[in-house]
Amino acid sequence: MNFIGIRKGLLKKKKVIIPLAFFGLLLAIRLMVQPIIYKQLNTFLSQFSPVITFHIEDLDINLLRGAYSFESVTGKLKENNHQFLTIEKVDTSIAWREIFKGKIVTDIVVTSLNLSYSKELKEALAKTPKKEDAKEAKDKLFPVEVVRLDIKNSILKMDNFPAFTKIEGRITNLLADKKNPLSFLNLKATAFGHSVLKIAGHLKTLEEPIAWSIDTELQGFDLTAANQFLKEKVPLTFTKGKLDVYAEAKSEEGVIEGYVKPFMKNVDIMKAEENLKGAKHWFIEVIAAVGNLLLRTSDKKSVATLIPFTMDKSGVHVDKGEALSKAIQHGFEQKLNPGIEDRLKLE
């Protein structure tokens, strides 16, 4: 008997059988597990909140890549079935680069998120479940810790107006520790169809509440592009003008402070027919106090100012006095410098 030949034959079969068996097992697991998880997730997402419901159209599991993805995710308000959110895909995968550092963590990539933020949604979110319920939802959808979040090709609508499109962003080091306490945020978007918004920020997720600081820059914003958005809110229209905005904000121990530094160039404003007096909102009151001065501008005008603000549980507090003082200073004394001032940073 040719024992060596028989042994070689067996070995060859093993080289084929074992991988086949392995892939077969993976496939079997995938086929069995996928529908069970899909059903459980959608049940949970429809019940965890009294005011909003989410639905995942398709769940895909890729065991070889160590990934799973939710496709065609929608979010609706239960009260009127109004859809406020669609997401083409949420892909969660093992962060292989971290495996070599001894960590099993995941990256999430959200593609084509389309969120419509409205007063309706804001009110619904105020009624949504406690923090613990939101955490439960997060743990159910993303059971393995997340170290990085990417957002691609997304849109934020405000009152149904596509205010920010082509949103691309990334947050890294979400699993901060004492040695590396900072998480890093980058965001870029197209504002109102043409100008570019850039945000760079840091977060300290170990602190309670989370501390953060952000720098924001928006350049070359055409004010006439905002007319459609503003027209139902304030009785004035920009007929021309460009706006650059630089802003910094910081939040520590729940108190937010910051400033907005707008630079407006070649602005012309036209008043609508409505009476400005008697309006209720504080910003309308400021415009009403100016009153007939709305139409006095004739020459090419540019103005800049720095508007400091703070925000706490009682609301937003704007230092209008300093804002006015800086505007006059810029107009007649010393120009304000365009750009971020780098004075509000996390320690």
Partner 1 sequence: MFKVLCLISSIFLISCSSKDPKEMTSKEKTPVQPKETISMESKLLANEQESNLVTEIKFDRQKANISGKAREQLKDLHRKASKKGKIEEIKVISWGDQEYPSVHEKKLSEVQVKLVEERNATLENYLKTIEMDAEIETISMAERPSTLAKWFSSDDARIKKSLETAGIPNTDTTVKVPGKASKSIVIFIMEEE
User: Which uninterrupted H or E stretch holds 109?
Assistant: strand 106-117
Q: Taking CB under 8 A as the rule, does residue 26 contact partner 1?
A: no
Q: Taking CB under 8 A as the rule, does residue 328 contact partner 1?
A: yes
Among 29, 31, 104, 324, the residue binding partner 1 under the rule CB under 8 A is 324
Q: Taking CB under 8 A as the rule, does residue 297 contact partner 1?
A: yes
Among 225, 230, 256, 311, the residue binding partner 1 under the rule CB under 8 A is 230
CA 168 to chain centre: 9
Q: Taking CB under 8 A as the rule, does residue 200 contact partner 1?
A: yes
- Cβ–Cβ < 8 Å for 170, 191: no
The Cα–Cα gap between 45 and 64 comes to 27
Q: Per DSSP, what are the bridge partners of residue 91?
A: 69, 109
Q: Taking CB under 8 A as the rule, does residue 229 contact partner 1?
A: yes
Cα–Cα distances in Å, from 312 out to 75, 123, 162, 258, 321? 29, 19, 29, 12, 19
List of residues 6+ apart from 344 with CB closer than 8 A: 213, 248, 249, 250, 257, 258, 259
Q: Taking CB under 8 A as the rule, does residue 235 contact partner 1?
A: no
Among 47, 80, 101, 347, the residue binding partner 1 under the rule CB under 8 A is 101
The Cα–Cα gap between 232 and 160 comes to 13
By CB under 8 A, which span of 26-34, 74-82, 116-124, 232-240 interacts with partner 1?
232-240
Binding residues among 268-287 for partner 1 as defined by CB under 8 A: 269, 283-284, 286-287
Binding residues among 166-195 for partner 1 as defined by CB under 8 A: 168, 170, 172-173, 179-180, 182, 184-186, 188
Q: Taking CB under 8 A as the rule, does residue 233 contact partner 1?
A: yes
Record the tokens describing residue 117, joined without a space: 């933020």
The Cα–Cα gap between 260 and 257 comes to 10
Q: Please report, in angstroms and rounded to a whole number, the separation of the first and last CA atoms in the chain.
A: 79
Least separation in angstroms between CB 47 and partner 1? 35
Nearer to partner 1, 14 or 345 (CB): 345
Least separation in angstroms between CB 86 and partner 1? 23
**Which of 102, 114, 176 minimizes the C-alpha distance to 146?**
176
Q: Taking CB under 8 A as the rule, does residue 151 contact partner 1?
A: no
Least separation in angstroms between CB 51 and partner 1? 24
User: Which uninterrupted H or E stretch holds 290?
Assistant: helix 282-290
Torsion over CA: 184, 158, 246, 290 (sign): negative
Q: Taking CB under 8 A as the rule, does residue 294 contact partner 1?
A: yes
Nearer to partner 1, 72 or 186 (CB): 186
The Cα–Cα gap between 154 and 39 comes to 27
Q: Tell me which DSSP letter residue 145 carries.
A: P
Binding site for partner 1 (CB under 8 A): 101, 158, 163, 168, 170, 172-173, 179-180, 182, 184-186, 188, 196, 198, 200-202, 215, 217, 219, 226, 229-230, 233-234, 236, 243, 245, 260, 262, 264, 267, 269, 283-284, 286-287, 290, 293-294, 296-297, 301, 303, 305, 307, 316, 318, 320, 323-324, 327-328, 330-335, 337-342, 345
